[in-house]
Amino acid sequence: CHHQVQWGMHCLSEIDSPSPDVYGIALMEMENGSLGFACIEDSSLYVWSRKVNSEGAAEWVQCRVIKLDKMISVANLSDEAFVVGSGEGMGAIFVSTGVGLFTIELKSRRVKKVAEPEVYFSILPYMSFYTPDRGTLLSLARTH
């Protein structure tokens, strides 16, 4: 389950997962800003989104099912594949298998192998970072 803390209200709420029997999951931000949940069951990647229903209660809604055995050629994929992370703002899920680490873009369903097989527990990607050049740092130091 996922716990949400609302610091201003000093409140902790619990959200049950849509699929309680999986251990490799990724929580992610969906395109509409809602909470997303990804897991693998029976050789398929399932993606769920948290939505508010007509009564005003939040519920999980399944929004994508991707058959992995047609995309990644692995024997007994359901025994060897699990979700190890998501790329914030990328719309991609990281899947670890016995033949390597893959990214799966949710919109295009494009699969790309990004690393050789290892034991991956969690992937935390970053897009880029900024390092100012020395000239900028020197000019800033002189003006203060």
* Count of alpha carbons within 13 angstroms of residue 38, beta-carbon side: 26
Whether 79 shows a pLDDT value over 60: the answer reads no
Residues 6+ apart with CB under 8 A from 80: 74, 97, 98
Per-residue pLDDT of 90-107, as tens digits, reads 789 999 988 889 999 998
The model carries a pTM of 0.72
Judge whether residue 2 has pLDDT over 50. Answer: no
Please give the average per-residue pLDDT across 123-140, as a whole number: 60
Strand 25-29 and strand 44-52: the pairing is unpaired
Give the pLDDT confidence of 3-39 residue by residue, as tens digits.
454 555 666 667 888 877 777 888 888 888 888 999 9
